[in-house]
């Protein structure tokens, strides 16, 4: 189960796997995670119905990190692997080295040391004015839902003013427009109806958003879904994590299905070399996730068990898994488009072309060669 750790020049941290002997409703569980490679972020999805222990799992990881990384208790080094034992005889296997606090450096908005970040789920947020952002390095970071809107507002204001100052354009209106467009580009694929349009110079430069009706509103007057999208994403932008573990509980809360499809792509674009571990109920998020990055927590014989796949399950595509586990049926638009493009190659007798082979390789990240789609392709091919 243990994965050998190869040391890197910069601090890195990720979880190879976890074992839980007994913690609340979780018992005799083992989960292996995909790890970041080549400086890119990686997203691991934990899915399951209510009561299956998804949030409990995130809190367990968070609790172990505080105990063992902050205090360095019970640490045993074996062949460059660090095994953390707790009172429940559970263990977490991390790849990590160097004392984060001691070696951390802050430059160009980036802390050099890894963090562990927890973004808890929350339906609504309170608005509290914030007059500064805390940029001090902390190994463990739990997003405070009471200050999340105020922090987001302060960051957006600071972001726009900084981009204006960096601009070489002489026209102040053009500088402001470019800065606002750059911020809105972060959410460009989400088709947000309400967008940032200006800063209110008469009210402490508070960010102003414009609704579909043309009304100007502040962040505390956005819809609940818009607050979720802006506030939670910006909370991660504030930390700008690199080489870190990021735990997110139910990012889809209050989000339109289109936003649910896009939300993980937005998170995944923040920072570098981060490992995301995300819990969700959303079939939209699950269906667009490569099967190797999925873990299902399922109820079986009065206990919670894990289901993972090292290869695509035979005769079952990822959408069948979504239907079986989550009770929902959905094929995301991006996979439909891949299917349609591949079928075009079939219609033109070009399945042996390199482009068709590359496209098939992309589709196979989400389903097996024996999925219903490829079975239909093989059937239609035989009829030609």
- Domain residue spans in the chain? 13-115+245-311, 144-227, 333-383
- Check residue 80 and give its pLDDT: 44
pLDDT in tens, the chain (384 residues): 233 333 344 567 888 888 888 778 788 888 889 989 888 999 999 988 777 778 888 888 887 765 444 444 444 444 445 555 545 455 566 665 556 666 777 787 788 788 889 999 988 888 989 888 888 888 889 999 889 999 999 999 999 999 999 999 999 999 999 999 999 999 887 778 899 999 999 999 999 999 988 999 999 999 988 999 999 999 999 999 998 999 999 999 888 888 888 899 999 999 999 999 999 988 888 878 888 899 988 877 878 888 887 776 655 565 666 666 666 666 777 888 899 999 999 999 999 999 999 999 999 888 878 787 888 898 788 766
- Check residue 302 and give its pLDDT: 78
Per-residue buried b or exposed e for 163-187, using 16+ beta carbons within 10 Å of the residue's own CB: bbeebeeeeeeebbbbbbeebeebb
- Check residue 26 and give its pLDDT: 81
- Check residue 155 and give its pLDDT: 95
- Check residue 118 and give its pLDDT: 93
Short-list 87, 28, 84, 34, CA closest to 61: 84
**CA gyration radius, the chain:** 23
**Token couple for 231:** 């506030």
CATH dotted code for 13-115+245-311: 3.40.50.300
- Check residue 73 and give its pLDDT: 42
- Predicted structure pTM score: 0.78
What is the distance between the alpha carbons of residues 237 and 278, in angstroms, rounded to a whole number? 17
- Check residue 196 and give its pLDDT: 95
Short-list 48, 237, 51, CA closest to 135: 237
Q: Rounded to 10 degrees, what is the CA torsion of 13, 14, 16, 18?
A: 100
């Amino acid at each position: 189960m243990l994965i050998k750790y190869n040391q890197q020049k910069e601090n890195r941290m990720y979880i190879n796997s976890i074992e839980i002997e007994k913690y609340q409703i979780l018992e005799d569980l083992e989960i292996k995670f995909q790890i970041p490679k080549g400086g890119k972020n990686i997203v691991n999805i934990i899915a399951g119905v209510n009561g299956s222990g998804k949030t409990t799992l995130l809190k367990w990881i968070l609790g172990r990190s505080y105990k063992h990384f902050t205090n360095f208790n019970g640490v045993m080094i074996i062949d460059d692997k660090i095994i953390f034992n707790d009172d429940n005889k559970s263990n977490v296997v991390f790849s990590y080295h160097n004392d984060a606090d001691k070696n951390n450096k802050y430059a160009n908005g980036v802390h050099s040391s890894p963090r562990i970040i927890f973004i808890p789920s929350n339906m609504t947020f309170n608005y509290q004015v914030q007059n500064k952002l805390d940029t001090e390095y902390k190994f463990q970071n739990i997003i405070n839902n009471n200050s999340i809107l105020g922090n987001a507002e302060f960051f957006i204001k600071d972001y726009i003013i900084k981009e204006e100052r960096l601009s070489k354009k002489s026209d102040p209106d053009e500088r402001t427009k470019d800065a606002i467009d750059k911020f809105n580009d972060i959410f460009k694929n989400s088709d947000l109806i309400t967008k940032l349009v200006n800063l209110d110079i008469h009210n402490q430069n508070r960010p102003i958003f414009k609704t579909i009706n043309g009304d100007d509103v502040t962040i505390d007057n956005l819809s609940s879904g818009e607050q979720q999208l802006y506030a939670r994403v910006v909370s991660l932008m504030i930390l700008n994590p690199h080489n870190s573990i990021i735990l997110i509980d139910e990012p889809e809360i209050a989000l339109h299905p289109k936003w649910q499809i896009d939300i993980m792509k937005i998170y995944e674009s923040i920072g570098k070399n981060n490992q995301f571990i995300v819990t969700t109920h959303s079939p939209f998020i699950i269906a667009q996730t490569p099967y190797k990055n999925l873990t299902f927590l399922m109820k079986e014989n009065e206990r919670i068990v894990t289901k993972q796949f090292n290869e695509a399950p035979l005769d079952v595509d990822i959408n069948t898994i979504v239907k079986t586990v989550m009770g929902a049926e959905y094929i995301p638009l991006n996979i439909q488009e891949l299917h349609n493009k591949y079928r075009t190659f079939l219609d033109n007798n070009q399945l042996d072309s390199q482009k068709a082979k590359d496209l098939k390789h992309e589709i196979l990240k989400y389903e097996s060669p024996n999925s219903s789609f490829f079975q239909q392709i093989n059937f239609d091919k035989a009829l030609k």
